[in-house]
Amino acid sequence: MSIARTGAAVTPETGDGGSATEAIVVRRRRGRTSHARRRARTIGLLFAAPGLLIYAGVVLWPLVQSLQYSFYKWDGISASTWVGFQNYLNFFTDPVLRSTLGNVLVLIVFFAILPIALGLLSAALITSGKRPGMAVYRWIFFLPQVLTSVVIALLFKRMYAPEGPINEALRAIGLDAFAKNWLGDFTWALPAVGLIGTWVTFGFCMVLFIAGASSIPPELYEAARMDGAGPVREFFSVTLPGLRGQIAVALTLTITAALRAFDLIWITTRGGPGTSTLTPAVALYKAAFVNPDVGQAAAIGVVMAILCLIIAVVITRVSERE
C-alpha cells in the first residue's frame, strides 16, 4: 500500500511531517530569543559598568574598610591594635554610647510619629474638599525641604536663645516663668531639637500623603458614603489603607533620619548639655575627630548601617503584607 508524499516525511516521534517542521521553527525561534536576551543583558551590563565601578569605589569599598577598622583600636596615626568585637561591646555597654539609643527613640517620636500623624490629618483635610488657601498652606509647610539643614539649625538656634523670639513672646504675655534657655536645659534640649525635626519632616509627609490620596479611586469614597460612612470612618476605611505604600516610605525615611541625625544636633547643641542630645551620628563624629578612636567610630557606623537596613526591611515586609 503506497503512502502519498506531501513534501515532509512522517516520523513516529512527531506523527507527521508538519509537526516536525514546526518543532524545528520553534527551536530556532527560542534560540534566537535566548541569544537576543543574552546580547541585551551584556549590553546592559556594559552600560551599567561605569556606574557600578563608581558605586563600588565610593560606597562598597569604604563600607568594607569601615568593617575592617571596627575590629581594631586605632587613632588614625599610630599602629592599630586588634580588639575583635570590643568596639561593638563598648557601644552597647558604655553608658554614654548606650544613651544615644535612648535619645534616638525620643527623636523618632518627633521625626517620624508626629510628622506622619500630622501629615495624614492635613492630607485628609485638604483632599476632602476644595478650600481657599490650600496651595499656600502646602507651600509653607513644604518650605523646610527646600532650605538646607544648616540654615534651619541656625534659624531655630536663634529662636531658642535666652533672648530669642520664643522667650520674648512668653514674656510679652506674662509667662516669664516658662522662659528658659531651651537648648541649654537638660530636660528640654532634646524635645526642642526634636520639634525642629517635626517641622522639617512634616511638610514632606504631608505632600507625600496628598499625592497618594489623589490616586485613590473616587469610587471607593462613593461606596463608603453609600454605606453610611462618615468622615472618620471614611478616613480609616478608605484613605488610610490606600496610603499604605506612602506611609511605609515616610516611616522608612523619617526613622532613618532620626537615627542619622547629625547636622541639626551638632549646630544647635553639639550633643549637649552633657549627653542629653547625643545621637549615634554625633558620637561617631566625636570618636573619629574629637577624641580620635577610628575603630570605635567605624563600629558605630556599622551598627547604624545595620539598624537602618533592618528598619527598611521590616517596614517593607509589613507594608507588603495583605
Q: What is the pLDDT of residues 285-302, one digit of tens each?
A: 999 998 889 999 999 999
Give the model confidence (pLDDT) of 298-317 as tens digits.
999 999 999 999 999 999 89
pLDDT score for 129: 65
Give the model confidence (pLDDT) of 13-59 as tens digits.
444 555 767 766 666 666 667 777 888 888 888 888 999 899 999 98
Contact 294, 288 (CB under 8 A): yes
pLDDT score for 34: 74
Reply yes or no on whether the pLDDT at 196 is more than 60. yes
Q: Please give the grid coordinates belonging to residue 286.
A: 566625636
Handedness of CA 6, 7, 11, 13 (dihedral sign): negative
Count the residues in the chain: 322
Q: How confident is the model at residue 130 (pLDDT cuts 50, 70, 90)?
A: low
Reply yes or no on whether the pLDDT at 11 is more than 50. no
First to last CA, the chain: 67
Short-list 280, 264, 254, CA closest to 103: 280
Percentage of the chain surpassing pLDDT 90? Answer: 55
Q: Is the pTM of this model over 0.95?
A: no
Q: How confident is the model at residue 185 (pLDDT cuts 50, 70, 90)?
A: very high
- Axis-axis angle for helices 149-159, 189-214 (nearest 10): 130
pLDDT score for 8: 43
Q: Please give the grid coordinates belonging to residue 47.
A: 552600560
Reply yes or no on whether the pLDDT at 181 is more than 50. yes
